[in-house]
């Protein structure tokens, strides 16, 4: 074996001497590392090649013994702030880090396993900037980033809610929507936008794309240095001579190798059996299975479940059955050792699934493309099971993003992709920043945020109808960021045309009457929502579901029982659970509050012209966002605490006027033996996880069994 290994290393070395294709040599070396024991007489040779190929993290601790040049090179790629944490950059990471530390702004496109976030950590640990803003696409990524920063002990205050009080040195970790709620824009010295491709058509939700462009514009106007990061982008849709174009760097340096196996020839009847055979016989590591939709995820997870679940996983599955529903495919699949991760799932359960996957408690995780958006996993294998997403063939950009989830630096040298989808033809990916280019892709909601003297002739022509109308001021339209100006004008026109009695139905503050609330929901639904935003609901069903939520007080089983008599033909009980959770997540968490806030601001302007009182819907919005529970319970769900555990802790004394108060009180309760004694093992597991993500004082509770990374 040693002779074979030496021969392979010699061939790799010869490649470096005789070929300009360093990437080929690097790939062969990474494949060698995948089977190499890591010890033995060849270690100096392996270390020397790791240094030569820029793969410094893969060198052994004794790399300095090779020679002075290697020792100096290794030290150069271990900045002091990282050396103390036993972390070393690879060559391309070091290059990017240096340029950022020298004050350059950079837009970086690099493979998923490149280690882009590690550069962010090193920049923060340098202490160079006073106030840093990090924009991430999801609340799950807020939580993951905050936890990482707490573990790093950066010395900064991490602000992850718009209402938090900042300190002298701050890191704002927010989605674009939460950032736009921070008023005024805080002082910014450096900012990061993760998954920057969502500035363009990589984000299919037009409102989210618009709000991200607005956030980018506000941040750029501060003059702060920036670092935009994302995968698989070939170019920016901006003028070649612009500062943005000059800041763009695309690299294919990848510290892992990915093998793709095309199994698209399997038809629908044979796919499942073939995948099961792969998982049982060939996987040799944790596997992510990507499917097209949430319903498909729970269905496929249930189909591939077994009877070999870890004891703690069984306890967690029982807990989910009790607190959500025993017929929910998510709990039934988990009882069979298979996890599920979809958009409608509560964020706390999404995190629980990723934790189990990282710990080695489950080695199969079925998910939708929501897991593409930056959340790190330890998957060696990725299976692309469905041929379409949103009824469209998977495009090359999405395929590349999913493929990039296989393998992980310092975890799995070689990732494996099994694709039952047709391989899309490679295409160049260009990110158009609509607020910069003012291209036809720029929505009116994006363009209206620019100053009048910034509009191109084409943009002004597109906006002319909005500029010419006198139903609603441009100031109010701009206040409702991301919302289509035409829809806002339509809502204002309906309010102006309303009879005095009908308008009074929209004129309320605090707690509305039933008729007032119904009138307000109906107007918002009719005028401010279009197409897919309506998701098959109507004002009557929305009102009925809100009434059920008020009565349920956070109890999902109660909501499921209330929904069952109204289920669709052929709809399963598990699908009813999905619908209940989706309504909480999408309607109560976002659509209804957004709709009501816009309606209130429009009503306020119209009311002034009509000589009537202004409305204020904030109390009822807050109730809806909080699922009719004390606000801190819903807020802590974003930190990974399930609503049932939050209710349990509230009954044991947890309180909080603000999220800071609630978080501090939760940490205190996590230290109290009298509280812990009254919780189940699963509830303690959730509590310790949330508390350990808020402070380094509390370690995460470990459970017995196999562990990759507890």
What DSSP assignment string belongs to 508-528?
-BSSPPHHHHHHHHHHHHHHH
Q: Are residues 169 and 279 in the same domain?
A: no
Q: Is the pLDDT of residue 279 over 80?
A: yes
Q: Does residue 283 belong to any structural domain of this protein?
A: yes
Q: Strands of 364-367's sheet, edge to edge?
A: 257-262, 414-419, 381-384, 287-290, 364-367, 339-341
pLDDT, tens digit (0-9, with 9 covering 90-100), for 497-533: 999 999 999 999 999 999 999 999 999 999 999 888 8
Q: Are residues 401 and 479 in the same domain?
A: no
Picking from 498, 539, 501, 502, the residue whose alpha carbon sits closest to that of residue 521 is 539
DSSP 8-state symbol, 591: I
Q: Are residues 497 and 618 in the same domain?
A: yes
Find the domain containing 365 and state its range: 257-419
Q: Are residues 601 and 644 in the same domain?
A: no
Least confident range from 115-119, 388-392, 596-600, 632-636: namely 388-392
Of residues 90 and 372, more confidence is placed in 90
Q: Does residue 700 belong to any structural domain of this protein?
A: no
Q: Is the pLDDT of residue 43 over 90?
A: no
Residues 596, 565: Cα–Cα separation, whole Å: 29
Q: What is the pLDDT averaged over residues 334-363?
A: 94
Q: Integer distance in angstroms from the first to the last C-alpha of the chain?
A: 34
Q: What is the pLDDT averaged over residues 426-438?
A: 91
The sign one gets for the Cα dihedral 373, 375, 381, 386 is negative
| Confidence tier at 315 by pLDDT (50, 70, 90) | very high
Picking from 174, 606, 586, 683, the residue whose alpha carbon sits closest to that of residue 344 is 586
Q: Is the pLDDT of residue 152 over 80?
A: yes
Question: Interior CA angle at 212 toward 210 and 213, to 5°?
Answer: 65
Q: Are residues 566 and 671 in the same domain?
A: no
Three-state DSSP class for residue 397: helix
Q: Single out the residue in 575, 608, 626 at which a domain terminates.
A: 626
Q: Does residue 531 belong to any structural domain of this protein?
A: yes
Q: Is the pLDDT of residue 687 over 70?
A: yes
Q: Are residues 489 and 601 in the same domain?
A: yes
Tokens of 511: 């707690």
User: Residue 178: what pLDDT?
Assistant: 95
Q: What is the pLDDT averaged over residues 233-256?
A: 91
Residues 420, 383: Cα–Cα separation, whole Å: 8
Tokens of 668: 């205190």
Q: Does residue 706 belong to any structural domain of this protein?
A: no
Residues 256, 413 contacting (CB under 8 angstroms): yes
Q: What is the CATH number of the domain that holds 103?
A: 3.40.50.300
Q: Single out the residue in 608, 626, 644 at which a domain terminates.
A: 626
Pairing of strands 388-389, 392-393: antiparallel
Q: Does residue 173 belong to any structural domain of this protein?
A: yes
Distance from chain centroid for Cα 460: 35
Helix (H) or strand (E) holding 410: none
User: Residue 64: what pLDDT?
Assistant: 63
Residues 639, 641: Cα–Cα separation, whole Å: 6
Q: Is the pLDDT of residue 443 over 80?
A: yes
Q: Does residue 686 belong to any structural domain of this protein?
A: yes
Find all residues with CB under 8 Å of 37, minimum gap 6, and list them.
none
Residues 84, 126: Cα–Cα separation, whole Å: 12
The sign one gets for the Cα dihedral 122, 126, 128, 134 is positive
Q: Is the pLDDT of residue 374 over 70?
A: no
Q: Is the pLDDT of residue 47 over 50?
A: yes
Strand partners, 262: 419
Three-state DSSP class for residue 540: helix
Locus of tokens 């090649």: 49
User: Residue 68: what pLDDT?
Assistant: 73
Q: Where are the alpha helices (H) located in 129-253, listed in sequence order? A: 139-152, 176-181, 206-220, 243-247
Strand partners, 174: 135
Tokens of 408: 């992980």
Question: Interior CA angle at 709 toward 35 and 646, to 5°?
Answer: 155
Of residues 294 and 645, more confidence is placed in 645
Give burial (CB, 10 Å; 0-12/13-18/19+) of 452: exposed
**DSSP string spanning 593-660?**
HHHHHHHHHHHHHHHHHHT-PPPB-HHHHHHHHTTTS-HHHHHHHTTT--HHHHHHHHHTT---SSHH
Q: What is the pLDDT averaged over residues 214-219?
A: 96
Q: Does residue 440 belong to any structural domain of this protein?
A: no
Residues 225, 192 contacting (CB under 8 angstroms): no
φ/ψ region of 630 (left if φ > 0, alpha if ψ in -120 to 50, else beta) reads beta
Long-range Cβ contacts of 23-29 (<8 Å, 24+ apart): 23/252, 23/253, 25/53, 26/53, 26/54, 26/55, 27/257, 29/53, 29/55
pLDDT, tens digit (0-9, with 9 covering 90-100), for 383-405: 999 988 878 899 898 899 899 88
Strand partners, 414: 257
Q: What is the pLDDT averaged over residues 640-663?
A: 95
Q: Are residues 264 and 367 in the same domain?
A: yes
Q: What is the pLDDT averaged over residues 579-593?
A: 95
| Confidence tier at 547 by pLDDT (50, 70, 90) | very high
Q: Are residues 528 and 558 in the same domain?
A: yes
Q: Are residues 382 and 514 in the same domain?
A: no
DSSP 8-state symbol, 408: B
Q: Is the pLDDT of residue 86 over 80?
A: no
Residues 606, 492: Cα–Cα separation, whole Å: 7
Q: Is the pLDDT of residue 602 over 90?
A: yes
Q: Are residues 59 and 96 in the same domain?
A: no
Picking from 535, 545, 543, the residue whose alpha carbon sits closest to that of residue 565 is 545
User: Residue 707: what pLDDT?
Assistant: 41
Name the domain count of the chain.
5
Residues 361, 69: Cα–Cα separation, whole Å: 43
Residues 595, 347: Cα–Cα separation, whole Å: 23
Q: Are residues 285 and 346 in the same domain?
A: yes
Locus of tokens 């819903």: 634
Q: What is the pLDDT averaged over residues 654-667?
A: 94
Locus of tokens 């919005």: 621
| Confidence tier at 708 by pLDDT (50, 70, 90) | very low
| Confidence tier at 345 by pLDDT (50, 70, 90) | very high
User: Residue 1: what pLDDT?
Assistant: 56
Of 9-13, 304-308, 703-707, highest mean pLDDT: 9-13
Q: Are residues 601 and 671 in the same domain?
A: no
**DSSP string spanning 668-693?**
HHHT-HHHHTTS-HHHHHHHHHHHHT
Residues 622, 480: Cα–Cα separation, whole Å: 18
Strands (E), 14-81: none
pLDDT, tens digit (0-9, with 9 covering 90-100), for 172-206: 999 999 999 998 999 999 999 999 999 998 888 89
Q: Is the pLDDT of residue 135 over 90?
A: yes
Residues 690, 639 contacting (CB under 8 angstroms): yes
Q: Single out the residue in 250, 266, 290 at which a domain terminates.
A: 250
Residues 412, 406: Cα–Cα separation, whole Å: 8
User: Residue 177: what pLDDT?
Assistant: 95
Strand partners, 570: none
Q: Is the pLDDT of residue 20 over 90?
A: no
Q: What is the pLDDT averaged over residues 266-275?
A: 92
Locus of tokens 């500035």: 199
Three-state DSSP class for residue 703: coil
Average pLDDT score over the chain: 91
Distance from chain centroid for Cα 202: 14
Tokens of 84: 């103390």
Question: Interior CA angle at 293 toward 291 and 297, to 5°?
Answer: 60
Phi, psi of 364 (to 5 degrees): -135, 125
| Confidence tier at 704 by pLDDT (50, 70, 90) | low
Q: Does residue 709 belong to any structural domain of this protein?
A: no
Residues 138, 175 contacting (CB under 8 angstroms): yes
What's the chain's length in residues?
A: 710
């Amino acid at each position: 074996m040693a002779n074979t290994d030496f021969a392979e290393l010699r061939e790799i070395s010869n490649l470096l001497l005789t070929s300009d294709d360093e990437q080929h040599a690097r790939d062969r070396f990474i494949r060698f590392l995948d089977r190499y024991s890591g010890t033995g007489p060849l270690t100096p040779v392996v270390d020397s090649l790791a240094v030569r190929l820029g793969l410094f993290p893969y060198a052994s601790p004794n790399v300095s013994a090779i020679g002075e040049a290697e020792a100096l090179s290794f030290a150069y790629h271990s900045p002091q702030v990282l050396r103390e944490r036993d972390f070393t950059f690879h060559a391309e990471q070091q290059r990017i880090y240096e340029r950022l530390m020298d004050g350059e702004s950079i837009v970086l496109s690099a493979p998923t396993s490149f280690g882009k976030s590690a550069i962010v950590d090193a920049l923060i640990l340098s202490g160079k900037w006073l106030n840093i803003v990090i924009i991430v696409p999801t609340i799950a990524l807020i939580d993951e980033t905050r936890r990482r920063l707490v573990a790093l002990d950066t010395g900064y205050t991490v602000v992850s809610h718009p209402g938090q009080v900042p300190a002298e040195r701050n890191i704002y970790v927010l989605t674009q929507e939460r950032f736009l709620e921070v008023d005024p824009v805080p002082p910014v010295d450096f900012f990061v936008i993760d998954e920057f491709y969502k500035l363009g058509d990589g984000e299919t939700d037009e409102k989210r794309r618009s709000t991200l462009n607005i956030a980018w514009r506000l941040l750029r106007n501060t003059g702060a240095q920036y670092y935009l990061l994302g995968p698989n982008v070939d170019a920016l849709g901006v003028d070649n001579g612009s500062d943005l174009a000059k800041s763009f760097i695309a690299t294919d340096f990848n510290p892992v190798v990915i093998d793709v196996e095309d199994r698209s020839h399997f038809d629908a009847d044979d796919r499942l059996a073939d995948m099961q055979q792969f998982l049982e016989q060939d996987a040799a590591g944790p596997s992510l299975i990507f499917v097209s939709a949430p319903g498909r995820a729970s269905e496929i997870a249930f189909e591939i479940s077994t009877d070999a679940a870890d004891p703690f996983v069984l306890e967690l599955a029982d807990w989910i059955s009790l607190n959500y529903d025993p017929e929910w495919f998510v709990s039934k699949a988990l009882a069979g050792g298979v996890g599920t991760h979809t958009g409608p799932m509560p964020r706390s359960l999404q995190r629980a699934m990723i934790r189990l996957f990282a710990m080695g408690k489950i080695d199969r995780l079925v998910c939708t493309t929501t897991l593409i958006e930056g959340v790190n996993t330890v998957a060696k294998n990725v299976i692309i099971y469905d041929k379409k997403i949103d009824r469209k063939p998977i495009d090359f950009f999405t395929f590349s993003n999913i493929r990039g989830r296989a393998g992980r630096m310092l975890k799995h040298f070689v990732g494996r992709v099994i694709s039952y989808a047709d391989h899309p033809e490679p295409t160049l990916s260009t990110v158009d920043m609509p607020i910069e280019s003012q291209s036809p892709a720029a929505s009116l909601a994006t363009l209206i945020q620019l100053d009048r003297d910034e509009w191109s002739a084409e943009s002004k022509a597109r906006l002319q109808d909005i500029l010419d109308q006198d139903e609603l001021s441009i100031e109010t339209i701009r206040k409702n960021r991301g919302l289509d100006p035409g829809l806002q004008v339509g809502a204002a026109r309906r309010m102006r045309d309303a009879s005095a009695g009908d308008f009074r139905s929209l004129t309320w503050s605090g707690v509305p009457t039933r008729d007032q609330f119904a009138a307000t929901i109906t107007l918002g639904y009719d005028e401010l929502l279009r197409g897919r935003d309506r998701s098959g609901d109507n004002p009557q069903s929305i009102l009925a579901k809100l009434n059920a939520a008020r009565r349920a007080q956070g109890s999902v089983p109660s909501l499921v029982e209330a929904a069952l008599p109204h289920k669709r033909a052929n709809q399963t009980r598990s699908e009813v659970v999905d619908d209940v959770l989706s309504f909480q997540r999408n309607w109560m968490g976002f659509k209804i509050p957004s709709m009501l806030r816009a309606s209130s601001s429009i009503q306020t302007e119209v009311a002034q012209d009509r000589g009537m009182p202004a409305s204020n819907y904030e109390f009822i919005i807050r109730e809806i966002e909080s699922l009719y529970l004390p606000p801190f319970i819903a807020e802590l769900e974003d930190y990974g605490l399930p609503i049932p555990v939050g209710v349990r802790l509230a009954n044991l004394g947890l309180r909080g006027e603000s999220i800071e108060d609630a978080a501090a009180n939760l940490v205190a309760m996590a230290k109290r033996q009298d509280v812990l004694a009254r919780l189940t093992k699963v509830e303690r597991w959730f509590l310790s996880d949330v508390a350990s993500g808020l402070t380094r004082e509390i370690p995460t509770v470990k459970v017995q069994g196999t562990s990759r990374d507890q």
